[in-house]
Structure 1
C-alpha cells in the first residue's frame, strides 16, 4: 500500500498482463515457506485465519459438484457470505466445510475485538472482473486471502493445496477467488464496541453523529451541527488485489462535563481514492461539546483492526487529559493512542482535521494532505 495513503481501494494501477505464477518447488521448500509465512502472519490474526480458510477452500474445490456451486455463486455476485454458502450447500464437500467456516468466523470476530453475536464475516468472491471468462469456461481457480501487508507478492493455493506466489502489481489470467471479511459489517460492529467501551470508561459517547437527524425528530430544541457537503481522498494507485476502503472518523473534543470525548462517524460510501463524494453527512453534533472547537481523525479498518484494543488505548490516553478551561486539540493524543501494530500495511490513519469550529465553512484540507472536506454549519430544528 502506498505510504502516502492507506486506502484499500479498487483503483487499478496495473495493466493486464500474463499470468505471474511462481510455483513453490518441492515439499521441503513448501514446508519452509509455510513456516516463514506463519512467522510473519500469526495464525490467530485475521490475516492468518483468512489464509487458513483460503487453503481449506482451495482444496475443497477438487470436488467437481462443490466447485460448480462456488463458481455459480462467484459469477452471480461480487462476493458472497462464505458461511451461508457452505451451510446451504447441497454437496457433501460444501456441507463438510460449514462447521470449520463457522469456527473461523468466530475467530475473526475475536481477533477484531467484536462480540460473539457479530455473525458471519468471511466472504469469498472473484478477485477481478477480467477473470470471469476463464471461470465461466470451467477453469479451476486459485484461492487467496486478501493481503494486508505492503509486500510485492501474496500467497494463493490450488486445489491440491500447493502454495503459489502472485504479484500484487499484475493481474493474473488464471481466476483467483479472494477470501476477505465483510468490511462494512465489521466497521459497524466495531464502532459499536468502541462506543460502549469508551462510555464504560466515562468518556461519554452517544449515538453516532450521523444519526442526529433521527434524534432531532424527538428533540425539543434544535441542534447545531457541522455538515460534510463533499469529501475526497487522494488518488493513490493501489494494487489490483486491494478491496474497497472501510472508512470511519473519530471526532474528539471536550464534552459538556469537561472530559475528553470521542464520537464515531461511519463513512461507508467513502471507498475509493480520487473520487469526490457528496454525502451531506453530519460530522459534528455541537450539543455534545463544551467548546466551539473539535478535531476529526479519519481512519480505515485494514482487516486486522481490533476495536477492543483501540478503545483501551484511546481511553488510557484521553483519561489523562483534563479540561484547563480552554480548548486543547486532541488529534495528537488520539494519534499517540493508536496501537503500534497499526502502523503496518500502512497505518489505519488516513488524515486529520484540527480545530473545526461551529462556524467552519468551505473546503478544509487534511493535515496529512491526503484529502479534503467541504463543510458548512447546519442547524437541525426540533419538531
Structure 2
C-alpha cells in the first residue's frame, strides 16, 4: 500500500471542519496552528535495507538466481534462505540493527525479506535474465528508484513505470513487525496507565418483551481508502487503528485494532469487524486514528510519544476529541514515510450509522451499531 500524501496542513483544515460540526463540547486540547512541514530526514530502516540490497546484488550469480526463483513464488525470509556463511552473518547483523531501528525486542525474529517487485517480472526471471536488487524507498513521491546490478553499480529506474528487467526488493516483513509492535505498544501503554477499552460493563437493552445483557459496539461493514498512484516497488502495508475514548475513571483508554485484510487502495472491503467497544467508556463517543506501517515505524518511539500526549489530557466533564493529541504527538518529520497517517474519524457513537468519511478525505467506512450479547 502506498504512502499517504496527507500532510499536516491539509489535516488541520479537514479536522477543523469536522470538529466544528461535531455535536460535542469545545475541545480542551487545541491543535497548534503554527506547525510547518520539516525537511525529510534520512530513514534508518532504508539505510539498512539498501545496504542489504547491494550485498544481495553482488552475491554469487547462482545464489542470486536461486533467490530470484524463490522470490518469484512469494516473499523469502532472508535469514532462512540458506545463503553462504559470510552473507548469512551480514544479514543477521543487519536484522539486529533493523530491530533496533524499529524499536522492537531482540526476540522478534527475522524482519528481512526478499520479494519480486511485480508479478509481470516472472517471465524475465524464467528466461534467465539477471535481476537487479533494490530496497523499498522511504518516499512514495520519488520519481526514481535506485537499484543495484551484479557489479554493485547503481541503476536508476522510473518509479512510475514497471521496468522490463526483473527487480528483487529487500524490505521489512511488516506483518511480523506490526504484530510485535502492537504487542509492545499495548504493554507500554498499560504500564503508563493507559488501559484498553476491553468489555467490562454489562448493560441491559429492551428488546420487545425481554431484556438482554451485553454492550454496544460500532461495526465496520465496509471500508475503502483513496485510489492513489503508487510506485511499482511498494508492497502491501499493514493497517491498524488507534481507537481512543475516556474510561469510566475519566482516564483515556486506547484500543489498537488491526485491519490485516486492507491491502490495497481503491478497493472496497467488507470485513464486518467490530471497531469500537463502548462497554468501558464514560461517554458515548470515541475517536479513531487509522495508520499504516510501510516499514519505517519505530514502535518504541511511537508509543512513548502517544502516551506522553494522552496522559496530560484530563476529563473535564465533557467529551474531548483525542485525534489532535495523537497526531500532534507524532513528530512532523515522521510524516515523510512512517508511521504513515491514513485518516481519522471523530466522535463515533453507539448511534453512528452509514457512510462516514474520514476527516482527511482519504477514506470512508460504512458503520452500524452492533449489540454484543452476553452469554
Q: What TM-score comes out, normalization by structure 2 length?
A: 0.83
The structure 1 residue matched to 2:67, chosen from 66, 70, 81, is 70
**1:140 counterpart residue number:** 130
Deviates more, 1:311-320 or 1:334-343: 334-343
Corresponding residue number in structure 1 for 2:106:
116
State which drifts further: 114-123 or 94-103: 94-103
When residues 246 and 224 of structure 1 are mapped into structure 2, their CA distance, relative to the original with a 3 A threshold, is same
Report Cα offsets for 1:120-141 as digits up to 9, x if no partner: 1111011111211111111111
Tell me the distance in 2 between the aligned counterparts of 1:272 and 1:290.
35
Q: Which residue of 2 aligns with 1:175?
A: 166
Within the candidate set 166, 170, 192, 2:157 is matched to 166
Q: 1:226-245 to 2 correspondence within 5 Å?
A: 226-245=218-237
**Offset from partner CA, 1:247-304 (integer Å, 9 cap, x none):** 1110011112211121100011111111110111110111121110000010111211
1: distance between equivalents of 2:361 and 2:153? 43
Q: Displacement of 1:339 after TM fit?
A: 2.1
Count of paired positions: 329
Alpha-carbon contact 2:65-2:130 (below 8 Å) kept = no
Instruction: State the TM-score, normalized to the length of structure 1.
Output: 0.81
Q: Distance in 2 between matches of 1:123 and 1:237?
A: 24
- Map 1:2-17; keep pairs closer than 5 Å: 4=5
1:117 match: secondary structure? helix
Q: Distance in 1 between the 2:90 and 2:174 partners? A: 21
Q: CA deviation at 1:240?
A: 1.2
SS of the equivalent of 1:343 reads helix
Structure 1 180/106 Cα, relative in aligned 2: closer, same or farther at 3 Å?
same
Q: Match of 2:289, SS? A: strand
What SS does the aligned partner of 1:323 have?
Answer: coil
Residue 293 (1) aligns with residue 280 (2): no
Considering only aligned residues, what root-mean-square deviation do their CA atoms show, in Å? 2.0
CA separation of 1:3 and 1:46: change in aligned 2, threshold 3 A: closer
Q: Does 1:96 align with 2:95?
A: no
Hey, what does 1:303 align to over in structure 2? 295
Cα drift, residue 337 of structure 1: 0.8
2:116 to 126, 139, 145: 126
Shift of 1:154: 2.2
Query: Which residue is 1:370 aligned to?
Result: 362
Contact 1:5 1:236 in 2 (8 A): no
CA apart distance, 1:347: 6.4
Q: Could you say which residue in structure 1 is the equivalent of 2:78?
A: 82
* Counterparts of 1:205 and 1:139, CA distance in 2: 52
How do residues 158-237 of structure 1 correspond to structure 2 at under 5 angstroms? 158-205=149-196, 222-237=214-229
Q: Which runs of 5+ in 2 are unaligned?
A: 8-39, 200-211
| Structure 1 residues not aligned, in runs of 5+ | 7-38, 210-219
